[in-house]
Amino acid sequence: MKMNFMKMKAVKILLFVGTILACSFASAYAAVNMEPINAFFNRGVSFVLNGELWQPKDQAGKPIAAIYYKGSNYLPARALAEALKIPIDYDATSQKIYIGGKPAEKTPIFAMPMEIDNIYAILSKDPAETLVNGKQFKQVLKIDQYGDVNITLNRKYKRLVLNAAVISPGEHEVEFSLYNAVDIAGNTASTILEKHSVSPEDNEKQLIFHVEGLEKIKIHVQSPNLNPYIYARILDTSYFDNGD
């Protein structure tokens, strides 16, 4: 019983010391990097964004007021970036806020949330199907007639770098068309934003689509002459990024 009491006491001491250290580090960080100011919430100011009244909100959807300090009104960077459809990321390790996305960050296409036409477009890891023009890949999206893939971006990226190929016995050029797939796109959902093509002679071709400001996109894959047998592949080397 005495041993258990001693163990519990030791645990409490360690927790207490850990709490003190954590508070010390936080206090040290605040002392070096944070400076107190006298500011006010300005609840009288309103905002007009692109001609319409706009209410800034926090991540929980609650309205937030501007902070008035030394003659200027301030808002959180995230609220402004999201309203202006600019990607924003926070790196806690480096204490950096990236407005416009992290420059060198690449996200593989198949790591993204996506909806695939599973009748004519199928994700495959079968080695027989991921062997594309003599080169072995780990995963491909195979489209043997025509297909759509919808990908959710949440405005985090500027480019889609799409690596694609036409394999044997494909004899026809294949078009890859970019659409805005967000629910509120309305009539613009049927408008092609960009179109690129891949021919059987290309072996493997890199297509660059500009997706800045888009929340959700659709890539439609089809032969321009509507031939149903296209044998197209989207390769796992495709990715999203924010440019060079």
pLDDT digits (tens, 9 = 90+) for 96-130: 888 776 777 789 999 999 999 888 899 999 999 99
User: Cα–Cα distance between 83 and 57 in angstroms, integer?
Assistant: 10
| Structure confidence by residue, pLDDT tens digits, 39-71 | 899 999 998 888 889 898 888 889 999 898 999
Question: Could you read off the pLDDT of 165-197 as tens digits, one per residue?
Answer: 999 888 889 999 999 998 755 555 679 999 999
Quickly state the pLDDT bin for 4 (edges 50, 70, 90).
Answer: low
Would the pTM count as exceeding 0.85? no
Q: Which residues, 6 or more positions from 55, have their beta carbon under 8 angstroms from its beta carbon?
A: 47, 63
pLDDT, residue 18, reads 45
As a whole-number percent, the residues of the chain with pLDDT over 70 amount to 84
Tell me the fold of 107-241.
Jelly Rolls (2.60.120)
Q: Where do the domains of the chain lie? A: 40-84, 107-241
pLDDT of residue 49: 85
Q: Compute the average pLDDT of residues 196-213.
A: 95
Q: What's the pLDDT at 12?
A: 42
Look at residue 230 and tell me whether its pLDDT is greater than 50.
Answer: yes
**Nearest 5°: phi and psi at 30?**
-65, -40
Asked if residue 144 lies in contact with residue 230, where contact means CB atoms within 8 angstroms, the answer is: yes
Look at residue 13 in the predicted model and tell me its pLDDT.
41
Given this model, what pLDDT does residue 145 score? 85
Cα–Cα distances in Å, from 71 out to 38, 49, 68, 80, 93?
12, 21, 7, 19, 33
CA dihedral 46, 50, 54, 59 (to 10 degrees): -120
Separation between Cα atoms, residue 144 and residue 227, nearest integer Å:
10
pLDDT confidence of residue 243? 80
The region of weakest confidence among 11-15, 63-67, 82-86, 141-145 is 11-15
Question: What pLDDT shows up at residue 7?
Answer: 45
Cβ neighbors of 241 (< 8 A, separation 6 or more) are 101, 104, 105, 106, 107, 157, 158, 159, 161
